[in-house]
Amino acid sequence: MKQDPRIVIIGGVAAGPKAAARARRLLPNAEITVIDRGRWISYAGCGMPFFLDGQVNTFEELFNTAYDVIRDEGYFLREKDITVLTSTEAMEIDRAKKMIRIKDLAGQEERWIPYDKLVVATGASPIIPPIEGRDLKGVHGLNNPDDLLRLMETVGDVNEAVVVGAGFIGMEVAGALSNRNILTTVVELRDQILPGVLDEDLAGVLKTRLESQGIDFALGQKVIRFEGENGRVARVVTDRGTLDAEMVVMAVGVRPNVEPALKAGLKIGDTGAIEVNEYMQTSDPDIYACGDCAENVNILSGRHTYVPLASSANRQGRVVGDNIAGRRSRYNGILGTALLQVKNWNVGRTGLGEQQAQALGYETQTAITPAHDRSHYHPNHSLVILKVIAEEGTGRLLGVQGIGPGGLDKRIDVAATAISFGATLENLVDLDLGYAPPYNTTIDALQHTANTLRNKKSGLVPMISPRKVWEKLQSGDDFVLLDVRTQREHDSKPMNDERVIHVIMGELRERIDSIPRDKEIVVFCDLGIRSYEALRVLKGAGFTNIRSMEGGMRLWAYGPVGML
């Protein structure tokens, strides 16, 4: 009878424990050891910002199972017969002898342990730029539970904070601090928030909405130094000014922890993470890598990429557990599907962004459509703004992004599924999705956006982006901005410009002679639906030089007006 392998896993946060748990279910008699240099294991790192702002009630909940048992060394030993060695560092991997030299960081003792199959799940570490003053008290990261505890010690006494970095963690932390009524400013080197996550158009709208809720942004700025008083941070100096700060949270990104793999001679990919094949094997077939230390493959481009996400880490860990047990499971790659929440705004994306697709050589067409996430008469209805990116000509779906206080998650997941199976816009709108007023509109918001793009592609509705409208207003172009909103909508959020003509949609046919035929006309409304209808009415009446402002006022992120 074949003996089960001795399995050693370096890393005990996400991918490592998942690989261990899956291997144990498939190999009841295997010897499984997990090593982690920290004192915390199997914790919900993604939940830390939500503990910071009070949505998670207790620190222990970040370590609990769904049945309220703490996932510690005793839990893994009792329930899974897995030995977990915390505060223990893997110092050396001897691939020839299949041995690992480990060091107890508390007692400093070293010893060698054998393995038949090794899993490297060492995760990632925060990037700490060499900024002067980064050692001042009050300058924090948020990479592990110890960081969270240090933050919580003083956050209750803070009135002003600066977050450095507008990526996933930075934005979630900014939202958490703002929810605690702390004046929060986000500094970002790039000119937009969530670079690489959202395209500029949606990022601009989200920024405007978050500013209206109290978060400030200093975009396109480089942090030069932190200044302190009495050993504690007091100011953040950028290349464009100075910001007061009683607390700073650094969130400029992470880099994969590849040192053990590198020292062992394992191949490191072009992304800087450990290169693996479809079975999650490294260049040594008896050594696997998974989680934030390993590369991914983008399903659409076929290229290696580094996108550290908890969802990917757990899926990879399961694949590793399968393959250690001889099941030959494949990990087919990622679409970069991700969700986050900032204040009451949800953000989601999957597939390629517009610029990402174009950089890969795709000719793209896009549409952005605000819509209700459920029937407008249902008391819980809210707004979602979706962007669909498709390949010109074929109509193949390449990516979807969305923002809004409404339900985004199911739209993003439907889009990820559709992209994975090579769906076109036509395939997407043909999907038989569920409807009832508490859950959806009769035509889902994602399908509505796909239909908008189909209308654009067919020439049925020529469109102009809100940014282009803003540029026309600023440049002094002579054109008509036709507002077809109701009187209440017009009065509550007026577009104050002499080029605006206000004609309620229901009165358009009666007043059509009041609209000049010798000028370019841009029609707008709240969501973009009535402006589309108005455009078709005007086209039918012989108007030719006319466009609809895409997304209406819900997509407006420029100047002092907008549906905030």
Residue in the structure block whose two tokens are 């819980």? 380
Residue 4: what pLDDT? 87
Whole-number pLDDT of residue 520 = 97
H/E segment holding residue 169: helix 168-179
Q: Where are the beta strands (DSSP E) in 373-432?
A: 383-391, 397-404
Mean pLDDT of 21-41: 97
Provide mean pLDDT across the span 394-404. 98
State the pLDDT at residue 558.
83
Q: Check residue 530 and give its pLDDT.
A: 97
What would be the CATH architecture of the domain defined by 6-124+255-324? 3-Layer(bba) Sandwich (3.50)
Q: Which active-site residues does the annotation give? A: 46
The arrangement of secondary structure in 344-458, i.e. its CATH architecture, is 2-Layer Sandwich (3.30)
- pLDDT, the chain, mean: 96
Q: Which long-range contacts (CB under 8 A, 24 or more apart) does 259-264 make?
A: 259/122, 260/10, 260/90, 260/92, 260/93, 260/120, 260/122, 261/93, 261/120, 261/122, 261/287, 261/289, 261/293, 263/92, 263/93, 264/92, 264/93, 264/95
Write the secondary structure of 352-372 as one string of H (helix), E (strand) and C (coil).
Answer: CCHHHHHHCCCCEEEEEEEEE
Q: Tell me: the pLDDT tens digits for 337-360?
A: 999 999 999 999 999 999 999 999
pLDDT tens for each residue of 179-212: 999 999 999 999 999 999 999 999 999 999 999 9
What percent of the chain stands above pLDDT 70?
99
Residue from 327, 272, 278, 271 nearest 299 by CA: 278
CATH annotation of 139-252: 3.50.50.60
Q: Is the dihedral of CA 295, 296, 297, 300 positive or negative?
A: negative
CA angle 419, 422, 427 (to 5 degrees): 90
For 452-474, the pLDDT digits (tens) are 999 999 999 999 999 999 999 99
> Which 3 state secondary structure label does DSSP give 206?
helix
Does residue 350 contact residue 412 with C-beta atoms inside 8 Å? yes
Q: Is the pLDDT at 562 greater than 90, yes or no? A: no
Distance CA 75, CA 92 (A): 28
- Banded model confidence at residue 67, pLDDT cuts 50, 70, 90: very high
Three-class secondary structure of residue 514 per DSSP:
helix
* Domain ranges for the chain: 6-124+255-324, 139-252, 344-458, 463-555
Where does the pLDDT of residue 114 fall: very low under 50, low under 70, confident under 90, or very high at 90 and above? very high
Q: What is the pLDDT of residues 361-397, one digit of tens each?
A: 999 999 999 999 999 999 999 999 999 999 999 999 9
pLDDT at position 265, please?
98
Task: Give residue-wise pLDDT tens across range 134-154.
Answer: 999 999 999 999 999 999 999
Residue environment code for 331-359, b if the CB has 16+ CB neighbours within 10 A, otherwise e: bebbbbbbbbbbbebbbbbbbbbbebbee
Rounded average pLDDT over 444-456? 97
Look up the CATH number of domain 463-555: 3.40.250.10
Q: What share of the chain in percent tops pLDDT 90?
A: 97
The answer to whether domain 6-124+255-324 and domain 139-252 are alike in fold is yes
Burial class (CB within 10 angstroms; exposed 0-12, middle 13-18, buried 19+) of 476: exposed
- The whole-number pLDDT of residue 564 equals 36
- The pLDDT, as a whole number, for residue 563 is 37
Is residue 560 pLDDT above 90, yes or no? no
pLDDT band at 1 (very low <50, low <70, confident <90, very high): low
- CA-based torsion, 345, 351, 357, 362: positive or negative: negative
- Given a cut of 80, is residue 553 above it in pLDDT? yes
